[in-house]
Amino acid sequence: MNALKYAAKARMVTDEVEKVIVGKDECVEKIMMAVLAGGHVLIEDIPGVGKTTLAVAFARAMNLSQGRVQFTPDVMPSDITGFSMYDKAQGEFVYYPGAVMCNLFLADEINRTSAKTQSALLEVMEEGNVTVDGEPHPVPRPFHVFATENPVGSVGTQMLPESQLDRFTICVVMGYPGREEEIQILMGEAGYGPLSELEPVITREDLIRMQRETEKVFVHRAVYDYIVSLAEATREHPLAALGLSPRGSLAAVQMAKASAYMAGRSFVIPDDVSGTFHDIARHRILLNAQGKAGHSSVDDVLDDILASVKKPRPEKRQQ
């Protein structure tokens, strides 16, 4: 491997985003890992904590073309995927691209729209293209979906189906800022909006190269075994009705590689897996009636699993 020479550029992106997103360094870092892993990000929290600002900041820092749709009940699938219309001059149907034809698609408040519109994202998130009237149309590369979501139970929201949730590599929760961070936010609002001042620090070609390097990070057989043990533990836990899918296990591998890459390593260690496990699993695990009745949370279950599954100690691969 090329000594991970582009790893420092990932830090440049997070540093630039953190000029806008105050006090959420860990959240920003996890999202950067998901991008390096070539994945999609679900950002869940109450309105007003900066979810949309975070997504826009990443698009600007990475110089990515951005599409954005506010997911309200009247949004149609064709607004996302595009549509075909007969062109009399050409004598044929012509495809008119939808909002998803970009590098970073922001699905704002994704759980406020209909299930039919949500399903318009299933194909593109998995396969990288949309099919309109039987014709596939590939999206640009790189391509990522950042979706924001208000907590279930908020006015006008509905739960995303498991098939939709499983396509997001990670789910991050931002939370309220600390007291000092909120003061900084208020002081920043008194002047120019800092979002408008963000500068691109990498190119799209840089990002694609970084993603290819991330794929080459070495994973020891013992680490694969650790990931499978964690996945099995989620499926067998007495408080879980739905455990981690094989797609979730793949996400664990991809995020572990990205974690190693961000740390400047060309090999994964078990801490890369455990450090990102909550993020790849919290939206994929469903509690059963016993778990809900006992007022347990998914994060409580994941804590229990991480504590009960023994970490391996694979030998470092010689580089």
Residue 113 confidence (pLDDT): 85
- Within a domain: residue 274? yes
- What pLDDT is recorded for position 229? 97
Q: What are phi and psi of 82, to 5 degrees?
A: 100, 180
Does any domain span residue 221?
A: yes
Grouped pLDDT means (10 residues each) for the chain, 319 residues: 68 91 89 97 79 88 93 90 88 90 93 85 92 91 92 66 91 84 72 70 94 95 97 96 95 97 94 97 93 87 96 64
Give the pLDDT score at 315. 57
CA dihedral 14, 80, 168, 256 (to 10 degrees): -40
- Quote the longest CA-to-CA distance of the chain: 67
Q: What is residue 3's predicted lDDT score, i.e. its pLDDT?
A: 45
Which residue shows structure tokens 């899918």? 245
Q: Give the pLDDT confidence score for residue 230 in this predicted structure.
A: 98
Q: For position 180, what pLDDT does the model report?
A: 84
Residue 271 lies in a domain: yes
pLDDT number for residue 6: 65
**Segments of the chain assigned E as strands:** 41-44, 66-70, 82-87, 92-97, 104-108, 129-132, 135-138, 144-149, 170-173, 240-242, 286-287
Amino acid at 223: V
* Predicted confidence (pLDDT) per residue in 289-317, tens digit: 998 888 889 999 999 999 999 999 865 55
CATH number of the domain where residue 272 is located: 1.10.8.80
Residue 102 confidence (pLDDT): 96
User: What pLDDT score does 154 carry?
Assistant: 59
Cis preceding-peptide flag for 142 (omega within 30 of 0): yes
Return the bridge partners of 22, or none.
none
Q: Is residue 160 part of a domain?
A: no
Residue 255: what are its φ and ψ, rounded to 5°? Answer: -70, -35
Is residue 233 in some structural domain? Answer: yes
> According to the model, what pLDDT value does residue 119 have?
85
Domain membership of residue 286 (yes or no) is: yes
Does any domain span residue 208?
A: no
Q: How high is the pLDDT of residue 155?
A: 57
Average pLDDT, the chain: 88
Residue 190 has what pLDDT?
Answer: 46
Residue 247, in any domain of the structure: yes
- Give the number of domains in the chain: 1
305 lies in which domain range?
217-312
At residue 142, the pLDDT reads 95
